[in-house]
Amino acid sequence: MTERELIEEYYRRFNRGDWAGMCALLAPDVVHDLNQGAREAGRPTFRAFLDRMARSYKEQLRDIAIMTGEGGRAAAEYVVEGQYLATDEGLPPATGQRYTLPGGAFFEIESGAIRRVTNYYNLETWLAMVRGRS
């Protein structure tokens, strides 16, 4: 699988909610840089993150643009269509609010597996949307 195909498959599995399939594309010691948060490591930790996210959010990505370059690097830009289902710790109360916002990710790929995922979206924009001030 090419680097582009790997990232395309990663997002296909995300949109299907196939967390086990997503994790199968990751290196065992994958590094995950959370948006405006901590760095986590390992497939089990990444899977726990996906499970937590699935409890609070229902999301689909559209208009995915993937860019690949030399040295095992890739990036993706997309639009997140989501719904805030259950209150996530430290965030405003969830009441089923819907949101649409741009996001992106950077990847390191090694030996056919995703070695690092760094996600980004504008948290202040998302907070304004779920608070009804978009």
Model confidence over 101-130: pLDDT tens digits?
999 999 999 999 999 999 999 999 999 999
Tokens of 80: 């997140």
Nearest to 128 by CA among 89, 88, 99, 96: 99
pLDDT at 38 (0 to 100): 86
- In tens, the pLDDT along 66-94 reads 999 888 999 999 999 999 999 999 999 99
For the chain, the first-to-last Cα distance in angstroms comes to: 40
Distance of CA 115 to CAs 26, 39, 57, 103, 127, Å? 6, 13, 25, 20, 30
Average pLDDT on 7-14 reads 98
| pLDDT of amino acid 57 | 97
pLDDT for 25-72, tens place per residue? 999 999 999 988 889 999 999 999 999 999 999 999 999 999 998 889
Residues 6 or more apart in contact with residue 88 via CB below 8 angstroms:
52, 56, 57, 94
Residue 134 has pLDDT above 80, yes or no: no
What's the CATH number for 3-130? 3.10.450.50
**Can you give the pLDDT at residue 37?**
82
Check: CB of residue 60 under 8 Å from CB of residue 81. yes
- Buried b / exposed e over 76-87, threshold 16 CB at 10 Å, is bebebebebeee
Q: What's the confidence (pLDDT) of residue 122? A: 92
CA dist 26 and 32 (Å) reads 10
